[in-house]
Structure formats: structure tokens, C-alpha cells
Amino acid sequence: MSTTKEFQTINPTSGKPIHTYSYMNEKQVSEAIENCHNAFLTWRQHSLKERAEHLKNVGKALLEHKEELAALMTEEMGKLLKQSEQEVELCAGICEYTAKEGPTELAAEDRKLPEGGKGRIVHAPLGVIYGIQPWNFPTYQVIRYAIANLMAGNGVLLKHAESVTGCALLLEKIIESAGLPKHLFKVLIINHDQSDDVIKNRYVRGVTLTGSAGAGEHVAKVAGAALKKTVLELGSNDAYIVLQDADLDNAVKQCVNGRVYNNGETCVAAKRFVVVEEVYEAFKEKFVARMKGVNYGDPTDSSSRMGPMAREDLRKDLHEQVTQSVSKGATVLCGGELPDADGFFYPATVLENVQPGQPAYDEELFGPVASLIKAKNTEDAFRIANDSRFGLGGGIFTSDGDKAFELAAEHFDTGMVFINSFGLAQPNMPFGGVKDSGYGREHGGFGMKEFTNAKAIMALK
């Protein structure tokens, strides 16, 4: 059991401390969970329409606090300020979408029974849902699961990444200001040992995690032992396939944007670039030139294309992956060196000659490092793309849209595929992966039902 009682948040741009926080004690954690459960008992009685109105207010409150929240996200994890603002706007849109579609998605459904009689299916809330969320999208990661579960009638607990604790507490304040019952959405400032105890708590009925495959395995094991459902959105090593008939200028633009967006720290991001040999050299020349033009700097400066990585240890791990890949045969085409400056910056980097056995091929590189891989043809490109233990997202670049949809449907072993663009979440489309990228879905109505009881009510003749 960890004995550390305090921790600090660190500004990754300067490397200097922001704030010191204290972990909650066992009594405080227990009371927070019980209070959330009691708030749930009231909230579950609200009609779907009433819940939707409250969620609309959450969306409005997010926009009212956009400047404050965006500035704090940039300070705590280093994303570009304009991308922090975009994140808040996306989250407000998720609230609006959920409020609009939730009452229909969760409405009771009547069915005739085969031998006569009436059946009804209701999506009853389960109770308190515990979310363990990462730092890379401090607002979106929370809103994505919290709003869906609030719409379903559940209570919500949040263990956010320590490095964005300020964002977590501000979100709690914003959500409560929108008129939701006190304690219905509650932040737990706890360590990993305490987190396991939360999963086991009798009032917690489900657990959702966004994080590494290792974290997912641990959480699933603890939750499974307590017979509690989990939804896991884990790591990825997304492949973006460039076919012979692709618009290379657009492909290069989208692939670079997809690799460096959010400082390269995105789960469903372009990471491996699999290019058929007919256009490989032309793509490489344009791609490397554009990556060289991606400058890093103060994320509040509008001229910066990237900010720093979120933590010093994350930058160290990424650089070690690059170094190991090079020692095993990869070639650095640009970047790949640690800057001699304050902050946790890492340059836009391209690796070539990427092969199995190298971290750049086998592992997730959670930062602005691109792996460039040549494929013999379309079939070989999909073989390479699917030759991964991960299966979150992927991309296809081709001028034949119909063919792209067919290839995506039949040959990509991932939860999501993006055509001629890079991956961003859409509120009306399911979000999630397969293989070591996890299971379960969020968005698109799916997330609203993940933690509900599809209750069958039957009256026989």
C-alpha cells in the first residue's frame, strides 16, 4: 500500500509545479461513494426528458467556462490552447447530442410474445459507474462516459489522472452548477491501491477505463472477480494505408495532422503509415518535409504546431522506444533527438525501415513519432496493418470511395476506420476497439446502454 499522501501537478511547458493535492482517506472515499449512490437513487426517478434537460444545461455550462477550462487543460497537460478550446466545444456537442437522442435510444420497447401476450424491454440504470480516465483529453475523456451514464440514470465517479486533477475538480464544479443533484458526479482523488477498493465497493456496479492494455488487464481482473461489467478503451497502434490511387497531397496533410494532433498523444491516432511501393518514395519525400515543418513551442502561442509531452517520464519512455527501434534497424528521417530546453518537448519524428521486433512496429508510440512502412500491394498493406495486437482505429487513402468502404468493412480488423481523413470522435458513431485495444463501445447511442439493465417484462396470455 502506498504511503504517499500528497502529489503535485506539473506544468509540462515549464517543468514547474502548479498545485499540491492530498489523497482522500478511506473514510472520505467511502462517504463519497455512498453519497453518489444516494444521489443516484433520486436521479434514477427522473424521466428521460428531465435528464436530457439537465444535460443540455451541462453543455451550456461547459461553454460558459470554456476559457477557464481550456486554459487549465493547456497548463496541466500541454495541449495547444486552440485544441483545448475545440475539446470543450466537442464536449458541449456531446451533451447536446445525448440530450437530443437519449430519450429515443433509451425508450422502452414493446414486443409481442411468440405465443401471445405482451413483452416490454426497459433500459434500467445499474447504479454507480466508476470511470478511470487518462490525461490526454482531460475534458473529453470524462464527458464521453459521464454524460452517457447520466443520461441512462446512473451515478458517476471519476478517478482522473493525477496530472490533470485541477481539470477534474473544475469539471465537478461545472457539472454541479448545471443543476444536477449534489454528489451525482463525484471526483475521487485517490491512488491505484485505493482505486481497486473502489471497484470492489458494493455500491459500484460498473467500471469504465481508458488507458494502457496493462491497466485494462488489471482493472478487468479486479472487476471480474467482483462480477462487475467493464468497458475498456485501451492502447492502439493505428495503421494508415496509402494506396496507389490516393491523392498524395491530401494523404500527407491528413497523415501529418493525424500524427501530431494533441502533441501526438491520442489513442485513435495515425501511428504506422503503410504505403504501397508504387507511391512510397513520393509519399515519403512529402511526408518527411511536412513533418520537418512541424515546430514545437509554448502551447499558448498561436504559431506553435505542437506543445510539450504531458510528463517527463512519458517523454523519456518515448525516446527509449525510438532509440531501441534504431538499434534494431530503424532509420531516423527527421527528429529523434531530445531538445536541450525547459519543458517536456519532443520533435516531430519519422522512422523508416520499421520491422517486426522493433518498438516502432510492435508497440504504441504515444507521442509525435511516425513509423513509415513499405507494402508490396494492397493485400500486403492490410496484412501489415492487421499485424498488431491492437485494433482501435485505422485509415485508408484512395480516390475510390466505394472501394475504401468495402476494404474497411471486409479487411480492417479494428473498431473504427477513417477514409481520406484522420480520426476524430463523432458523437453519433460508436467509439471503441478490438483485440488488445479493449471492448465495449461509447458514443453513437451505444455508450448510453453499456451500463443499463435490459430488463424483460412479460405478461403471458
Catalytic residue selected from 75, 87, 233, 352: 233
- In sign, the C-alpha dihedral spanning 242, 363, 139, 135 is negative
- In sign, the C-alpha dihedral spanning 290, 312, 214, 162 is negative
> How far apart (Å, rounded) are the C-alpha atoms in residues 388 and 247?
26
Q: Which helix (H) or strand (E) holds 263?
A: none
265 given a catalytic annotation = no
One-letter amino acid of 315: R
Which grid cell sits at 117?
A: 401476450
- The two beta strands, 117-125 and 452-460, are antiparallel
Q: Which residues is 394 bridged to in the sheet?
A: 239
Q: Tell me the CB-side half-sphere exposure of residue 55, using CA atoms within 13 A.
A: 31
Give DSSP secondary structure letters for 393-429: -EEEE-S-HHHHHHHHHHH--SS--EESS-----TTS
Question: Is-contact 363 388, C-beta < 8 A?
Answer: no
CB atoms within 10 A of CB 176: 17
Closest by CA position to 137, among listed 195, 90, 99: 90
Q: In what order do the strands lie in the sheet with 331-334?
A: 331-334, 349-352, 369-375, 272-276, 239-242, 394-397, 418-419
Catalytic residue selected from 76, 267, 334, 364: 267
Question: Which residues, 6 or more positions from 450, have their beta carbon under 8 angstroms from its beta carbon?
Answer: 148, 206, 208, 229, 231, 440, 441, 442
Q: Tell me the CB-side half-sphere exposure of residue 42, using CA atoms within 13 A.
A: 10
> How far apart (Å, rounded) are the C-alpha atoms in residues 333 and 335?
7
Determine the angle formed by the axes of helices 48-64 and 140-152, rounding to 10 degrees: 160
Which grid cell sits at 262?
A: 494533441
64 given a catalytic annotation = no
Question: Is-contact 102 48, C-beta < 8 A?
Answer: yes
Grid cell 518498438 in the structure block, residue:
359
Question: Is-contact 186 157, C-beta < 8 A?
Answer: yes
Active site residues: 233, 267
